[in-house]
Structure 1
Protein backbone atom coordinates (compact mmCIF):
# COMPACT_ATOMS: atom_id res chain seq x y z
CA UNK A 1 0.00 0.00 0.00
CA UNK A 2 1.35 3.42 -0.98
CA UNK A 3 1.89 6.01 1.79
CA UNK A 4 -0.94 8.22 0.50
CA UNK A 5 -3.26 5.19 0.43
CA UNK A 6 -2.21 4.30 3.97
CA UNK A 7 -3.00 7.82 5.15
CA UNK A 8 -6.39 7.75 3.43
CA UNK A 9 -7.20 4.39 5.01
CA UNK A 10 -6.09 5.71 8.39
CA UNK A 11 -8.36 8.76 8.12
CA UNK A 12 -11.37 6.76 6.88
CA UNK A 13 -10.95 4.21 9.65
CA UNK A 14 -10.68 6.99 12.23
CA UNK A 15 -14.14 8.23 11.21
CA UNK A 16 -15.71 5.10 12.74
CA UNK A 17 -14.67 5.71 16.38
CA UNK A 18 -15.38 9.42 15.97
CA UNK A 19 -18.98 8.51 15.10
CA UNK A 20 -19.08 5.97 17.94
CA UNK A 21 -18.15 8.73 20.35
CA UNK A 22 -21.60 10.19 19.68
CA UNK A 23 -23.18 7.01 21.07
CA UNK A 24 -22.94 8.39 24.59
CA UNK A 25 -24.78 11.62 23.81
CA UNK A 26 -27.38 9.87 21.62
CA UNK A 27 -28.04 7.32 24.37
CA UNK A 28 -28.60 9.92 27.06
CA UNK A 29 -30.37 12.59 24.98
CA UNK A 30 -32.40 10.74 22.34
CA UNK A 31 -33.12 7.19 23.51
CA UNK A 32 -35.54 5.87 26.16
CA UNK A 33 -33.91 5.52 29.57
CA UNK A 34 -32.44 2.28 30.90
CA UNK A 35 -32.79 0.16 27.76
CA UNK A 36 -29.23 -0.74 26.65
CA UNK A 37 -30.19 -4.15 25.22
CA UNK A 38 -33.00 -2.76 23.07
CA UNK A 39 -30.72 0.04 21.86
CA UNK A 40 -28.03 -2.49 20.97
CA UNK A 41 -30.47 -4.70 19.09
CA UNK A 42 -32.08 -1.84 17.16
CA UNK A 43 -28.67 -0.52 16.21
CA UNK A 44 -27.46 -3.79 14.73
CA UNK A 45 -30.39 -5.91 13.51
CA UNK A 46 -32.04 -3.51 11.00
CA UNK A 47 -28.63 -2.40 9.70
CA UNK A 48 -27.48 -5.98 9.18
CA UNK A 49 -30.74 -6.96 7.50
CA UNK A 50 -30.45 -4.08 5.03
CA UNK A 51 -26.86 -4.94 4.07
CA UNK A 52 -27.54 -8.69 3.75
CA UNK A 53 -30.61 -8.13 1.57
CA UNK A 54 -28.70 -5.72 -0.65
CA UNK A 55 -25.74 -8.07 -1.13
CA UNK A 56 -27.73 -11.35 -1.37
CA UNK A 57 -24.81 -13.64 -0.61
CA UNK A 58 -24.91 -16.53 1.84
CA UNK A 59 -21.80 -17.71 3.71
CA UNK A 60 -20.91 -21.37 3.37
CA UNK A 61 -19.36 -24.08 5.51
CA UNK A 62 -17.23 -23.05 8.46
CA UNK A 63 -17.90 -19.37 7.83
CA UNK A 64 -21.28 -19.62 9.52
CA UNK A 65 -19.51 -20.38 12.79
CA UNK A 66 -16.82 -17.76 12.24
CA UNK A 67 -19.31 -15.04 11.38
CA UNK A 68 -21.40 -15.99 14.40
CA UNK A 69 -18.33 -15.66 16.63
CA UNK A 70 -17.38 -12.31 15.06
CA UNK A 71 -20.98 -11.14 15.30
CA UNK A 72 -20.99 -11.94 19.00
CA UNK A 73 -17.64 -10.30 19.78
CA UNK A 74 -17.79 -7.28 17.45
CA UNK A 75 -21.51 -6.60 17.64
CA UNK A 76 -23.82 -8.50 19.98
CA UNK A 77 -21.91 -8.69 23.25
CA UNK A 78 -19.85 -5.56 22.58
CA UNK A 79 -22.91 -3.43 21.80
CA UNK A 80 -24.56 -4.51 25.02
CA UNK A 81 -21.45 -3.68 27.05
CA UNK A 82 -21.10 -0.32 25.28
CA UNK A 83 -24.69 0.74 25.85
CA UNK A 84 -24.73 -0.55 29.41
CA UNK A 85 -21.59 1.41 30.24
CA UNK A 86 -23.01 4.49 28.48
CA UNK A 87 -26.24 4.18 30.46
CA UNK A 88 -24.85 3.56 33.95
CA UNK A 89 -21.53 5.39 33.85
CA UNK A 90 -20.49 8.94 32.91
CA UNK A 91 -19.66 8.93 29.19
CA UNK A 92 -16.01 9.80 29.75
CA UNK A 93 -15.58 7.11 32.40
CA UNK A 94 -17.04 4.50 30.05
CA UNK A 95 -14.49 5.62 27.45
CA UNK A 96 -11.68 5.36 30.00
CA UNK A 97 -12.56 1.73 30.72
CA UNK A 98 -12.76 0.95 27.02
CA UNK A 99 -9.30 2.51 26.55
CA UNK A 100 -7.69 -0.67 27.90
CA UNK A 101 -8.54 -2.24 24.54
CA UNK A 102 -5.22 -1.40 22.75
CA UNK A 103 -3.27 -3.21 25.47
CA UNK A 104 -5.44 -6.30 24.99
CA UNK A 105 -5.06 -6.08 21.21
CA UNK A 106 -1.27 -5.95 21.54
CA UNK A 107 -1.25 -9.13 23.64
CA UNK A 108 -3.72 -11.01 21.43
CA UNK A 109 -1.93 -9.90 18.24
CA UNK A 110 1.34 -11.21 19.63
CA UNK A 111 -0.25 -14.58 20.44
CA UNK A 112 -2.51 -15.13 17.42
CA UNK A 113 -0.95 -13.04 14.65
CA UNK A 114 2.69 -13.30 15.76
CA UNK A 115 2.81 -9.52 15.54
CA UNK A 116 5.74 -7.76 17.09
CA UNK A 117 5.47 -4.62 19.18
CA UNK A 118 8.14 -2.32 20.52
CA UNK A 119 8.68 0.39 23.09
CA UNK A 120 6.76 2.89 20.93
CA UNK A 121 3.59 0.87 21.36
CA UNK A 122 4.08 0.61 25.11
CA UNK A 123 4.60 4.37 25.37
CA UNK A 124 1.58 4.93 23.12
CA UNK A 125 -0.56 2.79 25.45
CA UNK A 126 0.53 4.78 28.47
CA UNK A 127 -0.09 8.09 26.67
CA UNK A 128 -3.50 6.94 25.47
CA UNK A 129 -4.75 5.76 28.86
CA UNK A 130 -3.29 8.83 30.57
CA UNK A 131 -4.96 11.07 27.99
CA UNK A 132 -8.38 9.54 28.57
CA UNK A 133 -7.88 9.76 32.34
CA UNK A 134 -7.25 13.50 31.91
CA UNK A 135 -10.37 13.81 29.78
CA UNK A 136 -12.59 12.46 32.57
CA UNK A 137 -10.72 13.95 35.52
CA UNK A 138 -13.44 16.50 36.24
CA UNK A 139 -16.24 13.96 36.60
CA UNK A 140 -17.71 13.97 40.12
CA UNK A 141 -20.21 11.12 39.87
CA UNK A 142 -20.82 7.91 41.73
CA UNK A 143 -19.53 4.96 39.73
CA UNK A 144 -21.60 1.84 39.23
CA UNK A 145 -19.47 -1.27 39.96
CA UNK A 146 -21.41 -3.43 37.52
CA UNK A 147 -21.05 -0.73 34.88
CA UNK A 148 -17.27 -0.82 35.31
CA UNK A 149 -17.18 -4.62 35.05
CA UNK A 150 -19.41 -4.70 31.97
CA UNK A 151 -17.28 -1.97 30.38
CA UNK A 152 -14.14 -4.06 30.89
CA UNK A 153 -15.92 -7.05 29.33
CA UNK A 154 -16.70 -4.82 26.37
CA UNK A 155 -13.03 -3.93 25.96
CA UNK A 156 -12.11 -7.63 25.96
CA UNK A 157 -14.85 -8.38 23.44
CA UNK A 158 -13.81 -5.61 21.06
CA UNK A 159 -10.12 -6.51 21.27
CA UNK A 160 -10.87 -10.17 20.58
CA UNK A 161 -13.12 -9.25 17.65
CA UNK A 162 -10.50 -7.00 16.06
CA UNK A 163 -7.76 -9.60 16.26
CA UNK A 164 -9.93 -12.52 15.08
CA UNK A 165 -11.25 -10.42 12.18
CA UNK A 166 -7.65 -9.87 11.10
CA UNK A 167 -6.70 -13.49 11.80
CA UNK A 168 -9.53 -15.02 9.76
CA UNK A 169 -9.82 -12.35 7.07
CA UNK A 170 -12.99 -12.69 5.03
CA UNK A 171 -14.10 -15.07 2.27
CA UNK A 172 -12.84 -13.93 -1.15
CA UNK A 173 -16.35 -14.16 -2.62
CA UNK A 174 -17.86 -11.98 0.11
CA UNK A 175 -17.85 -8.21 -0.29
CA UNK A 176 -16.96 -5.92 2.59
CA UNK A 177 -20.58 -4.75 2.93
CA UNK A 178 -21.80 -8.36 2.99
CA UNK A 179 -19.15 -9.26 5.58
CA UNK A 180 -20.26 -6.30 7.71
CA UNK A 181 -23.93 -7.07 7.21
CA UNK A 182 -23.75 -10.67 8.37
CA UNK A 183 -21.93 -9.70 11.55
CA UNK A 184 -24.51 -7.00 12.30
CA UNK A 185 -27.39 -9.35 11.49
CA UNK A 186 -26.13 -12.30 13.53
CA UNK A 187 -25.14 -10.08 16.42
CA UNK A 188 -28.56 -8.43 16.34
CA UNK A 189 -30.34 -11.79 16.26
CA UNK A 190 -28.41 -12.84 19.36
CA UNK A 191 -29.58 -9.70 21.12
CA UNK A 192 -33.23 -9.95 19.99
CA UNK A 193 -34.63 -12.57 22.41
CA UNK A 194 -32.50 -11.40 25.34
CA UNK A 195 -33.47 -7.75 24.90
CA UNK A 196 -37.19 -8.50 24.60
CA UNK A 197 -37.09 -10.83 27.60
CA UNK A 198 -35.06 -8.60 29.92
CA UNK A 199 -36.31 -5.16 28.90
CA UNK A 200 -39.26 -5.49 26.59
CA UNK A 201 -39.87 -3.16 23.70
CA UNK A 202 -40.13 0.45 24.90
CA UNK A 203 -43.60 1.97 24.84
CA UNK A 204 -44.68 5.39 23.58
CA UNK A 205 -41.68 6.04 21.37
CA UNK A 206 -41.53 9.58 20.03
CA UNK A 207 -39.88 11.17 17.01
CA UNK A 208 -36.73 11.91 18.99
CA UNK A 209 -36.37 8.21 19.88
CA UNK A 210 -36.84 7.11 16.26
CA UNK A 211 -34.25 9.62 15.07
CA UNK A 212 -31.81 8.32 17.69
CA UNK A 213 -32.27 4.70 16.67
CA UNK A 214 -32.04 5.62 12.98
CA UNK A 215 -28.82 7.55 13.53
CA UNK A 216 -27.24 4.63 15.38
CA UNK A 217 -28.29 2.10 12.73
CA UNK A 218 -27.21 4.08 9.66
CA UNK A 219 -24.19 6.09 10.79
CA UNK A 220 -23.29 4.13 13.91
CA UNK A 221 -23.52 0.70 12.29
CA UNK A 222 -23.76 0.50 8.49
CA UNK A 223 -21.30 3.26 7.59
CA UNK A 224 -18.96 3.19 10.57
CA UNK A 225 -18.56 -0.59 10.77
CA UNK A 226 -17.95 -0.87 7.04
CA UNK A 227 -15.10 1.64 7.45
CA UNK A 228 -13.88 -0.15 10.59
CA UNK A 229 -13.67 -3.61 9.01
CA UNK A 230 -12.03 -2.11 5.93
CA UNK A 231 -9.41 -0.60 8.22
CA UNK A 232 -8.81 -3.90 9.99
CA UNK A 233 -8.12 -5.53 6.62
CA UNK A 234 -5.66 -2.90 5.47
CA UNK A 235 -3.95 -1.70 8.67
CA UNK A 236 -2.11 -3.42 11.53
CA UNK A 237 -4.44 -4.39 14.36
CA UNK A 238 -2.48 -2.32 16.88
CA UNK A 239 -2.89 0.81 14.76
CA UNK A 240 -6.63 0.17 14.44
CA UNK A 241 -6.99 -0.37 18.19
CA UNK A 242 -5.42 3.01 18.97
CA UNK A 243 -7.80 4.73 16.56
CA UNK A 244 -10.58 3.46 18.80
CA UNK A 245 -9.41 5.93 21.46
CA UNK A 246 -10.79 8.74 19.30
CA UNK A 247 -14.29 7.82 20.49
CA UNK A 248 -13.51 9.30 23.90
CA UNK A 249 -12.21 12.54 22.37
CA UNK A 250 -15.34 12.71 20.24
CA UNK A 251 -17.59 12.10 23.26
CA UNK A 252 -15.98 14.90 25.29
CA UNK A 253 -15.98 17.37 22.39
CA UNK A 254 -19.63 16.69 21.59
CA UNK A 255 -20.48 17.16 25.25
CA UNK A 256 -18.75 20.53 25.15
CA UNK A 257 -20.35 21.81 21.94
CA UNK A 258 -23.83 20.29 22.27
CA UNK A 259 -24.48 19.89 26.00
CA UNK A 260 -22.49 22.93 27.10
CA UNK A 261 -20.32 20.76 29.36
CA UNK A 262 -17.08 22.18 30.74
CA UNK A 263 -13.79 21.64 28.96
CA UNK A 264 -10.63 22.29 30.98
CA UNK A 265 -7.01 22.69 29.98
CA UNK A 266 -6.34 19.26 31.49
CA UNK A 267 -8.94 17.73 29.20
CA UNK A 268 -7.40 19.45 26.20
CA UNK A 269 -4.02 18.07 27.28
CA UNK A 270 -5.65 14.64 27.49
CA UNK A 271 -7.02 14.93 23.95
CA UNK A 272 -3.56 15.97 22.72
CA UNK A 273 -2.02 13.00 24.55
CA UNK A 274 -4.42 10.65 22.79
CA UNK A 275 -3.60 12.11 19.37
CA UNK A 276 0.13 11.72 20.09
CA UNK A 277 -0.42 8.09 21.13
CA UNK A 278 -2.21 7.40 17.84
CA UNK A 279 0.56 9.03 15.81
CA UNK A 280 3.18 7.13 17.78
CA UNK A 281 1.44 3.79 17.25
CA UNK A 282 0.91 4.55 13.55
CA UNK A 283 4.53 5.57 13.02
CA UNK A 284 5.59 1.96 13.21
CA UNK A 285 4.97 1.43 9.51
CA UNK A 286 6.64 -1.92 8.99
CA UNK A 287 3.30 -3.39 7.99
CA UNK A 288 1.41 -0.25 7.09
CA UNK A 289 2.95 -0.16 3.66
CA UNK A 290 2.53 -3.84 2.93
CA UNK A 291 -0.52 -5.12 1.05
CA UNK A 292 -3.43 -6.32 3.17
CA UNK A 293 -3.41 -10.00 4.03
CA UNK A 294 -6.68 -11.65 3.25
CA UNK A 295 -6.58 -15.34 3.91
CA UNK A 296 -7.80 -17.37 0.99
CA UNK A 297 -10.23 -19.34 3.11
CA UNK A 298 -12.53 -21.50 1.09
CA UNK A 299 -16.18 -21.11 1.85
Structure 2
Protein backbone atom coordinates (compact mmCIF):
# COMPACT_ATOMS: atom_id res chain seq x y z
CA UNK A 1 0.00 0.00 0.00
CA UNK A 2 2.83 2.40 0.82
CA UNK A 3 4.42 1.65 -2.55
CA UNK A 4 1.18 2.48 -4.36
CA UNK A 5 0.69 5.75 -2.50
CA UNK A 6 4.28 6.76 -3.30
CA UNK A 7 3.73 6.30 -7.04
CA UNK A 8 3.79 9.84 -8.50
CA UNK A 9 2.20 8.70 -11.76
CA UNK A 10 -0.77 7.21 -9.93
CA UNK A 11 -1.26 10.27 -7.74
CA UNK A 12 -0.99 12.64 -10.71
CA UNK A 13 -3.46 10.61 -12.79
CA UNK A 14 -5.93 10.41 -9.91
CA UNK A 15 -5.86 14.18 -9.39
CA UNK A 16 -6.27 14.92 -13.10
CA UNK A 17 -9.00 12.33 -13.62
CA UNK A 18 -11.10 13.24 -10.59
CA UNK A 19 -10.80 16.96 -11.28
CA UNK A 20 -11.91 16.67 -14.91
CA UNK A 21 -15.52 17.54 -15.70
CA UNK A 22 -15.78 14.82 -18.36
CA UNK A 23 -15.09 12.16 -15.73
CA UNK A 24 -18.09 13.15 -13.65
CA UNK A 25 -20.22 13.73 -16.74
CA UNK A 26 -19.44 10.14 -17.67
CA UNK A 27 -20.39 9.07 -14.15
CA UNK A 28 -23.67 10.96 -14.49
CA UNK A 29 -24.36 9.22 -17.80
CA UNK A 30 -23.64 5.82 -16.23
CA UNK A 31 -25.99 6.47 -13.31
CA UNK A 32 -28.65 7.92 -15.61
CA UNK A 33 -28.70 4.69 -17.64
CA UNK A 34 -29.08 2.60 -14.48
CA UNK A 35 -31.78 4.89 -13.05
CA UNK A 36 -33.76 4.81 -16.30
CA UNK A 37 -33.56 1.03 -16.34
CA UNK A 38 -34.62 0.58 -12.69
CA UNK A 39 -37.43 3.10 -13.03
CA UNK A 40 -38.69 1.48 -16.21
CA UNK A 41 -38.49 -1.96 -14.63
CA UNK A 42 -40.55 -0.86 -11.64
CA UNK A 43 -43.11 0.90 -13.83
CA UNK A 44 -43.55 -2.15 -16.04
CA UNK A 45 -44.02 -4.57 -13.14
CA UNK A 46 -46.40 -2.22 -11.32
CA UNK A 47 -48.34 -1.74 -14.59
CA UNK A 48 -47.72 2.03 -14.64
CA UNK A 49 -50.04 2.54 -11.70
CA UNK A 50 -49.31 4.30 -8.43
CA UNK A 51 -51.50 1.77 -6.67
CA UNK A 52 -49.78 -1.21 -8.28
CA UNK A 53 -47.82 -3.76 -6.30
CA UNK A 54 -44.28 -4.95 -6.92
CA UNK A 55 -44.02 -8.70 -6.32
CA UNK A 56 -40.91 -9.45 -4.22
CA UNK A 57 -40.02 -12.42 -6.42
CA UNK A 58 -39.44 -9.99 -9.27
CA UNK A 59 -36.56 -8.35 -7.39
CA UNK A 60 -34.24 -11.21 -8.38
CA UNK A 61 -35.18 -10.65 -12.02
CA UNK A 62 -34.32 -6.98 -11.65
CA UNK A 63 -31.02 -7.90 -9.99
CA UNK A 64 -30.17 -10.31 -12.81
CA UNK A 65 -30.89 -7.87 -15.62
CA UNK A 66 -29.19 -5.03 -13.73
CA UNK A 67 -26.08 -7.20 -13.30
CA UNK A 68 -25.96 -8.01 -17.02
CA UNK A 69 -26.46 -4.33 -17.86
CA UNK A 70 -23.69 -3.25 -15.50
CA UNK A 71 -21.28 -5.82 -16.95
CA UNK A 72 -22.08 -4.51 -20.44
CA UNK A 73 -21.47 -0.93 -19.31
CA UNK A 74 -18.17 -1.92 -17.69
CA UNK A 75 -17.01 -3.58 -20.92
CA UNK A 76 -18.11 -0.54 -22.92
CA UNK A 77 -16.60 2.17 -20.69
CA UNK A 78 -13.29 0.56 -19.68
CA UNK A 79 -11.63 0.68 -23.13
CA UNK A 80 -12.39 4.38 -23.41
CA UNK A 81 -10.58 5.04 -20.12
CA UNK A 82 -7.49 2.91 -20.74
CA UNK A 83 -6.94 2.71 -24.50
CA UNK A 84 -5.37 6.18 -24.61
CA UNK A 85 -3.33 6.03 -21.40
CA UNK A 86 0.10 5.87 -23.08
CA UNK A 87 -0.72 6.84 -26.66
CA UNK A 88 -2.18 10.15 -25.49
CA UNK A 89 1.10 10.96 -23.75
CA UNK A 90 2.90 10.12 -26.98
CA UNK A 91 0.59 12.33 -29.06
CA UNK A 92 1.06 15.23 -26.64
CA UNK A 93 4.84 14.66 -26.82
CA UNK A 94 5.02 14.27 -23.06
CA UNK A 95 5.93 10.58 -23.01
CA UNK A 96 9.65 11.21 -23.52
CA UNK A 97 9.63 13.61 -20.59
CA UNK A 98 7.86 11.00 -18.46
CA UNK A 99 10.41 8.36 -19.44
CA UNK A 100 13.33 10.56 -18.38
CA UNK A 101 12.06 10.65 -14.79
CA UNK A 102 13.13 8.23 -12.09
CA UNK A 103 9.89 6.29 -12.48
CA UNK A 104 10.30 2.73 -13.73
CA UNK A 105 8.24 1.29 -16.58
CA UNK A 106 6.22 -0.81 -14.15
CA UNK A 107 5.38 2.25 -12.02
CA UNK A 108 4.17 4.16 -15.06
CA UNK A 109 2.04 1.31 -16.42
CA UNK A 110 0.62 0.28 -13.05
CA UNK A 111 -0.09 3.90 -12.16
CA UNK A 112 -1.99 4.47 -15.40
CA UNK A 113 -3.97 1.26 -14.93
CA UNK A 114 -4.86 1.81 -11.26
CA UNK A 115 -6.05 5.35 -11.88
CA UNK A 116 -8.52 4.06 -14.45
CA UNK A 117 -9.54 1.13 -12.25
CA UNK A 118 -10.11 3.51 -9.31
CA UNK A 119 -12.55 5.57 -11.36
CA UNK A 120 -14.37 2.43 -12.53
CA UNK A 121 -14.64 1.22 -8.94
CA UNK A 122 -16.13 4.60 -8.07
CA UNK A 123 -18.73 4.04 -10.77
CA UNK A 124 -19.61 0.63 -9.35
CA UNK A 125 -19.85 2.06 -5.83
CA UNK A 126 -22.01 4.94 -7.07
CA UNK A 127 -24.52 2.40 -8.38
CA UNK A 128 -24.86 0.62 -5.04
CA UNK A 129 -27.91 2.66 -3.90
CA UNK A 130 -29.81 1.25 -6.87
CA UNK A 131 -29.03 -2.25 -5.68
CA UNK A 132 -30.55 -1.34 -2.31
CA UNK A 133 -33.95 -1.52 -4.00
CA UNK A 134 -33.28 -5.21 -4.66
CA UNK A 135 -32.39 -5.87 -1.03
CA UNK A 136 -35.49 -3.94 0.03
CA UNK A 137 -37.71 -6.61 -1.56
CA UNK A 138 -35.36 -9.55 -0.88
CA UNK A 139 -34.70 -12.53 -3.10
CA UNK A 140 -30.93 -11.93 -3.42
CA UNK A 141 -28.27 -13.08 -0.98
CA UNK A 142 -25.25 -10.94 -0.03
CA UNK A 143 -23.03 -13.74 -1.32
CA UNK A 144 -24.42 -13.37 -4.84
CA UNK A 145 -23.98 -9.62 -4.63
CA UNK A 146 -20.32 -9.72 -3.56
CA UNK A 147 -19.51 -12.52 -6.00
CA UNK A 148 -20.89 -10.44 -8.85
CA UNK A 149 -18.83 -7.41 -7.88
CA UNK A 150 -15.70 -9.53 -7.50
CA UNK A 151 -16.01 -10.70 -11.10
CA UNK A 152 -16.76 -7.13 -12.19
CA UNK A 153 -13.41 -6.16 -10.68
CA UNK A 154 -11.55 -9.06 -12.32
CA UNK A 155 -13.09 -8.25 -15.70
CA UNK A 156 -12.42 -4.51 -15.64
CA UNK A 157 -8.78 -5.03 -14.57
CA UNK A 158 -8.27 -7.49 -17.43
CA UNK A 159 -9.93 -5.17 -19.95
CA UNK A 160 -7.93 -2.25 -18.60
CA UNK A 161 -4.72 -4.25 -19.06
CA UNK A 162 -5.66 -4.98 -22.66
CA UNK A 163 -6.27 -1.27 -23.26
CA UNK A 164 -2.95 -0.31 -21.64
CA UNK A 165 -1.11 -2.87 -23.79
CA UNK A 166 -2.60 -1.62 -27.07
CA UNK A 167 -2.01 1.96 -25.97
CA UNK A 168 1.67 1.14 -25.43
CA UNK A 169 2.37 -0.78 -28.64
CA UNK A 170 0.42 1.54 -30.96
CA UNK A 171 1.22 5.16 -31.78
CA UNK A 172 -2.31 6.50 -32.24
CA UNK A 173 -5.10 6.57 -29.67
CA UNK A 174 -7.80 5.83 -32.24
CA UNK A 175 -6.00 2.66 -33.34
CA UNK A 176 -5.55 1.57 -29.74
CA UNK A 177 -9.21 2.19 -28.99
CA UNK A 178 -10.36 0.25 -32.06
CA UNK A 179 -8.11 -2.67 -31.13
CA UNK A 180 -9.35 -2.67 -27.53
CA UNK A 181 -13.00 -2.57 -28.54
CA UNK A 182 -12.23 -5.34 -31.03
CA UNK A 183 -10.92 -7.43 -28.14
CA UNK A 184 -14.14 -6.71 -26.23
CA UNK A 185 -16.22 -7.82 -29.20
CA UNK A 186 -14.18 -11.01 -29.34
CA UNK A 187 -14.63 -11.75 -25.63
CA UNK A 188 -18.31 -10.84 -25.55
CA UNK A 189 -19.58 -11.97 -28.95
CA UNK A 190 -17.09 -14.01 -30.97
CA UNK A 191 -16.54 -16.47 -28.12
CA UNK A 192 -20.29 -17.14 -28.00
CA UNK A 193 -20.29 -17.64 -31.77
CA UNK A 194 -17.34 -20.05 -31.53
CA UNK A 195 -19.16 -21.98 -28.81
CA UNK A 196 -22.26 -22.55 -30.94
CA UNK A 197 -20.21 -23.35 -34.07
CA UNK A 198 -17.93 -25.75 -32.19
CA UNK A 199 -20.87 -27.41 -30.49
CA UNK A 200 -22.70 -27.86 -33.80
CA UNK A 201 -19.63 -29.27 -35.58
CA UNK A 202 -18.79 -31.73 -32.82
CA UNK A 203 -22.40 -32.86 -32.58
CA UNK A 204 -22.39 -33.40 -36.33
CA UNK A 205 -19.20 -35.46 -36.11
CA UNK A 206 -20.67 -37.55 -33.33
CA UNK A 207 -23.80 -38.25 -35.32
CA UNK A 208 -21.72 -39.28 -38.34
CA UNK A 209 -19.77 -41.72 -36.19
CA UNK A 210 -23.09 -43.23 -35.09
CA UNK A 211 -22.31 -43.12 -31.40
CA UNK A 212 -24.68 -45.81 -30.17
CA UNK A 213 -22.83 -46.61 -26.94
CA UNK A 214 -24.46 -43.78 -25.00
CA UNK A 215 -21.20 -42.00 -24.23
CA UNK A 216 -21.35 -38.62 -22.54
CA UNK A 217 -20.72 -35.64 -24.78
CA UNK A 218 -17.28 -34.14 -24.18
CA UNK A 219 -16.63 -30.76 -25.76
CA UNK A 220 -13.54 -29.17 -24.16
CA UNK A 221 -13.02 -26.50 -26.84
CA UNK A 222 -16.65 -25.42 -26.82
CA UNK A 223 -16.59 -25.41 -23.03
CA UNK A 224 -13.56 -23.12 -23.05
CA UNK A 225 -15.24 -20.58 -25.35
CA UNK A 226 -18.31 -20.57 -23.13
CA UNK A 227 -16.27 -20.28 -19.92
CA UNK A 228 -14.40 -17.11 -20.94
CA UNK A 229 -17.56 -15.32 -22.09
CA UNK A 230 -18.65 -12.68 -19.52
CA UNK A 231 -22.33 -13.09 -20.42
CA UNK A 232 -22.24 -16.84 -19.83
CA UNK A 233 -20.46 -16.28 -16.51
CA UNK A 234 -23.15 -13.87 -15.32
CA UNK A 235 -25.93 -16.25 -16.31
CA UNK A 236 -24.34 -19.27 -14.63
CA UNK A 237 -23.74 -17.28 -11.43
CA UNK A 238 -27.30 -15.96 -11.32
CA UNK A 239 -29.30 -18.88 -12.68
CA UNK A 240 -28.26 -22.38 -11.51
CA UNK A 241 -30.34 -23.96 -14.28
CA UNK A 242 -28.07 -22.29 -16.85
CA UNK A 243 -25.03 -23.85 -15.21
CA UNK A 244 -26.71 -27.26 -15.22
CA UNK A 245 -27.66 -26.86 -18.88
CA UNK A 246 -24.06 -25.98 -19.78
CA UNK A 247 -22.76 -29.04 -17.94
CA UNK A 248 -25.32 -31.27 -19.66
CA UNK A 249 -24.44 -29.77 -23.05
CA UNK A 250 -20.65 -30.09 -22.94
CA UNK A 251 -20.38 -33.00 -20.51
CA UNK A 252 -17.84 -31.20 -18.27
CA UNK A 253 -18.68 -30.56 -14.62
CA UNK A 254 -15.63 -28.40 -13.89
CA UNK A 255 -16.81 -24.95 -12.64
CA UNK A 256 -16.69 -22.44 -15.47
CA UNK A 257 -15.96 -19.53 -13.11
CA UNK A 258 -12.57 -21.07 -12.27
CA UNK A 259 -11.66 -21.17 -15.97
CA UNK A 260 -12.88 -17.58 -16.31
CA UNK A 261 -10.79 -16.42 -13.35
CA UNK A 262 -7.62 -18.20 -14.51
CA UNK A 263 -7.99 -16.92 -18.08
CA UNK A 264 -8.56 -13.27 -17.15
CA UNK A 265 -5.79 -13.23 -14.54
CA UNK A 266 -3.47 -14.73 -17.16
CA UNK A 267 -4.54 -12.10 -19.71
CA UNK A 268 -3.89 -9.36 -17.15
CA UNK A 269 -0.38 -10.59 -16.39
CA UNK A 270 0.53 -11.08 -20.06
CA UNK A 271 -0.80 -7.69 -21.18
CA UNK A 272 0.90 -5.79 -18.36
CA UNK A 273 4.18 -7.61 -19.01
CA UNK A 274 4.06 -6.70 -22.71
CA UNK A 275 3.18 -3.08 -21.90
CA UNK A 276 6.06 -2.75 -19.42
CA UNK A 277 8.59 -4.27 -21.82
CA UNK A 278 7.43 -2.25 -24.84
CA UNK A 279 7.24 1.09 -23.06
CA UNK A 280 10.99 1.65 -23.44
CA UNK A 281 11.51 -0.57 -26.47
CA UNK A 282 13.49 2.07 -28.33
CA UNK A 283 15.75 2.95 -25.42
CA UNK A 284 19.05 1.33 -24.55
CA UNK A 285 18.00 0.65 -20.97
CA UNK A 286 14.68 -0.92 -20.06
CA UNK A 287 13.65 -0.41 -16.48
TM-score range, shorter-chain basis?
A: 0.3 to 0.5
Q: Larger Rg: 1 or 2?
A: 2
Give the TM-score of the pair, scaled to structure 2.
Answer: 0.35
Give the TM-score of the pair, scaled to structure 1.
Answer: 0.34
Larger relative contact order, structure 1 or 2 (CA cutoff 8 Å, min sep 6): 1
